[in-house]
Amino acid sequence: MKLGGPLPEHGHDASAVIKLLDEQGSPGTVGTTSGRFFGFVVGGALPATVAAHWLADAWDQNACLYELSPVAAQCEEIVLAWLLDLLRLPNGCGGAFVTGAQMANFTALAAARHATLLDANWNVEEDGLFSAPPITVVVGEEVHVTVLKALAMLGLGRNRIVTIPTDSQGRMRADALPRLSGPAIICVQVGNVNTGACDPVGEICDAAHQQRAWVHVDGAFGLWAATIPTRCHLTEGVGAADSWATDAHKWLNVPQDSGIAIVRDMRHLRGAMAITSSYLQPGERREPMQYGPESSRRARAVEIWAALRNLGRQGVADLIERTCQHAKRFADRLRSAGFEILNDVVLNQVLVSFGESDVTKRVIEAIQSDGTCWCGGTVWKGCTAMRISVSSWATTETDVDRSLDAIIRIASREAT
Ligand SMILES: Cc1ncc(COP(=O)(O)O)c(C=O)c1O
């Protein structure tokens, strides 16, 4: 890639700069917008959202204050209300538009820290954590690593967390919840990154709220199950939680980077995030920076607005249903071809084993170098597996069948 060398002494013409970037940079990209990219949990960016992104870039809005970008602040308000409706969350929640589920977990957990300590007469924003009443944090053993990072960044530590067991699909066992007293936060997951399984969130909320604990839901992609009748039972009771983290750049298919933190009682989000100074006096209207960790930033809600306006409620439901059906198609044909599916395919995630660990690893490598489709690897309950995550609007049944032909051809060859 010939993008390096010494810092140019003199500038180059803008067209020449972009031409070089295209020539040298484009070959260094990964085709995540393809309908046959099934790695990680990566959406494909709907065309309307890419165009909205370009428009917003041309506007170059600083979305921190209403005064600096009325359109950014208004899109945030509109989109937040639409998302609460779509994801079956309570009206009137507060929300922040952040880079992804990592920062959404951080933001929502900062609100949880604020609220649980306030309940114990402690102002953590003013007085910090030294000498604060301890907060009990409970997670399932399948907690996503970004929740642990968020807890670490918030000074809640990884080693003092209470970890409770999960079932064969990675769901937290509600019957294993400990008795809680004092400030407590329970981190629940809807959409396990390997299996797609969802914790019994309603049951956990019931138990938690009897003990005044805060329930935070990491629903990076799984929260979107609430949008379709065939899967909404997986997130039943999710609206009873206190905060939620989700991504728009995964299953909603908007460009990177786009996540949303949602908090039932907006006062706690503001309590954790709001700042003022002589030149930053919040007005009556939405001031985005009062809800999130960032100040100056781009207008992320614009692309989410474009996705929701472009798809509508029905289009979102079609997208979620279609990708779940594609995942089932993968699982059914791979099983019929004699390969082991390791998870109950409840959402858009499939885990397949091609035999011994080294065989599965070899198959994954061969699939990646064949180039028909892209899938990554993982380890599930000690077993090496290939992950197929169907998250893109662009994936068609033909893409699935073409990918399946390649996977089965390669696996049959490598497994013998
Ligand atoms: C359950 C869960 N939480 C959090 C994340 C982190 O999301 P992001 O990379 O958008 O920050 C992921 C990513 O796959 C996830 O699956």
170: Cβ below 6 Å to ligand 1?
no
Summarize the confidence of residues 109-127 as an average pLDDT: 98
User: Smallest Cα–Cα separation from 157: which of 179, 185, 197?
Assistant: 185
Among protein residues, the one whose CA lies closest to atom 2 of ligand 1? 220
Q: Is 102 in the pocket of ligand 1 (CB under 6 A)?
A: yes
How many angstroms is it from 248 CA to the middle of ligand 1? 11
Q: Is 218 in the pocket of ligand 1 (CB under 6 A)?
A: yes
pLDDT digits (tens, 9 = 90+) for 132-178: 999 999 999 999 999 999 999 999 999 999 999 999 999 999 999 99
Instruction: Give the pLDDT band of residue 379 (cuts 50, 70, 90).
Output: very high
Q: Is the CB of residue 391 below 6 angstroms from any atom belonging to ligand 1?
A: no
Residue written as token pair 């990219």: 37
For the cut 80, the answer to whether the pLDDT of residue 1 exceeds it is no
Q: Which residue has the CA at smallest separation from atom 12 of ligand 1? A: 220
| pTM higher than the cut 0.95 | yes
| Pocket lining: 193 vs ligand 1, CB cutoff 6 Å | yes
pLDDT band at 282 (very low <50, low <70, confident <90, very high): confident
Confidence band of 238 (pLDDT split at 50, 70, 90): very high
Mean pLDDT of the chain: 97
**DSSP classification of residue 260:** E
Rounded Cα gap, residues 42 and 32, in angstroms = 7
Q: Are 114 and 156 in contact (CB under 8 A)?
A: no
- Distance (Å, whole) CA 48 – CA 126: 43
> Residue 367: which pLDDT band, with cuts at 50, 70 and 90?
very high
As a CATH number, domain 313-414 is: 3.90.1150.170
pLDDT above 90 covers a percentage of the chain that reads 97
Ligand 1 close to Cβ of residue 307 (< 6 A): no
The three-state secondary structure class of 407 is: helix
Q: Given this model, what pLDDT does residue 329 score?
A: 98
Report how far ligand 1's centroid is from the alpha carbon of 101 (Å): 5
Q: Is the pLDDT of residue 180 over 80?
A: yes
Which residue has its alpha carbon closest to ligand 1 atom 5?
A: 101
Q: What per-residue confidence (pLDDT) applies to 65? A: 95
Domains of the chain, by residue range, sit at: 47-307, 313-414
Beta-carbon count within 10 A of 26 CB: 8
Cα–Cα distance, 237 to 127 (Å, whole number): 35
Radius of gyration of the chain, Cα coordinates, nearest whole angstrom? 22
Residue 49 has pLDDT above 90, yes or no: yes
395 lines ligand 1 (CB under 6 A): no
Answer yes or no: is pLDDT of 280 > 90. Answer: no
Q: Cα of 40 to ligand 1 centre, how many Å? A: 9
Cα separation, 127 vs 21, whole angstroms: 48
| Helix/strand number for the chain, H first, E second | 11, 11
Structural fold of domain 47-307 = Aspartate Aminotransferase; domain 2 (3.40.640)
**Helices 301-336 and 70-86 meet at what angle, rounded to 10?**
40
Q: Is 220 in the pocket of ligand 1 (CB under 6 A)?
A: yes
Q: How much of the chain exceeds pLDDT 70, in percent?
A: 100
Backbone φ, ψ for residue 247 (5° rounding): -115, 145
* pLDDT at residue 416 is higher than 80: no
Place 284 in a pLDDT band, splitting at 50, 70 and 90.
confident
Asked whether 259 lines ligand 1 (CB < 6 A), one says yes
User: Is the predicted pLDDT of residue 126 greater than 80, yes or no?
Assistant: yes
User: For residue 406, what pLDDT band results from cuts at 50, 70 and 90?
Assistant: very high
Residue 70's pLDDT is 97
